[in-house]
Copies of this chain bind each other. A is one copy, B any other.
Amino acid sequence: MINTEVKHQTRESATLTKNAILVIGGAEDKVHGKEILQTFFNRSKSSDAIIGIVPCASREPSLIGERYHRIFSDMGAKEIKVLDVRDRSGANDSAYLDFVENCTGIFLTGGDQLRLCGLLADTILMNRIIERAQKREMSLAGTSAGAAVMGHHMISGGSSAESPNRALVDMAIGLGIIPEVLVDQHFYNRNRLARLLSAVSGHPELLGIGIDEDTCAMFESDGIMEVIGKGTVTIVNARNMTYSNAKEAKGNEPLSMHNLKLHILGYGDRYDLEQNQPYG
């Protein structure tokens, strides 16, 4: 077994300023150490940061936009703009499009993932954000609803406190920023394993990723995901599942899923998305 401390030492300090995609489980610290937000800020060029805040998941976009604006401003960002798109035509605003070309980081706030996708999916603005983030020409972070949209398939809602079953989860199409993952957030905090399993049962080829509050799964350009923050990232890998009744199960009939892999990843733990294994 590898000691955690050793793992941290082997982490190359060169990666500490590289562009990355940060998938945050919601309720990240905004007051004290702000580790996750500070990491996003560092990955967005620190004092040279040009940060765009996308508050479109929220029903109070001004308030939430202002809140993150203040945080990144206090950190010393060079320029910050709240991309407060209120209808799909707003995503054609050339001022926003120009801004996105030059920005070093985009932050997707929490709210309702369906609202975010409804406003921005397949707009020129969002397509360009995704393209630049996927090429790691800039950093991108999403928290809570902003995390949910990362995969091609997205958990749009659901319930908890029940055995895994197909009726427990509502699925929709996400933004496909990291297409191969299926993200759930507020994970242990809101008892969401059953809903993540229910989602994975319908898409066993996708990697289920449950992220706790104030915790971040950070996707580096080299295919490594690293955990930072206070909690854990739970990986459910059903790619070698030997049996499931998901195709036949009706309504809230409990699901069978045999031979899944489960990883609980804590601070500094890394996961190799190519090898589908914890790394290092």
* A contact residues vs B (CB 8 Å cutoff): 1-4, 160-164, 188-191, 193-194, 197, 212, 215, 230-232, 236, 242-245, 247-248, 253-267, 269, 277-278
Contacts and interface: CB of A to CB of B under 8 A. Distances in A.
Contacts of A194: 188
Copy number in this complex? 2
B262 A163 contact: no
A192 to B, nearest CB: 9
11 contacts: A1-B242, A161-B188, A162-B189, A163-B231, A188-B193, A231-B254, A232-B254, A256-B265, A259-B261, A260-B261, A261-B262
Contacts of A257: 262-264
Overall SS of chain A's interface: loop
Nearest to A252: B230
Contacts of A215: 163
A197 B187 CA distance: 14
Contact of A160 (B191, B243, B277): B191
Nearest to A2: B243
A40 B242 CA distance: 30
Contact of A254 (B161, B230, B254): B230
A257 B2 CA distance: 11
Contacts of A255: 232, 264, 266
Contacts of A236: 262
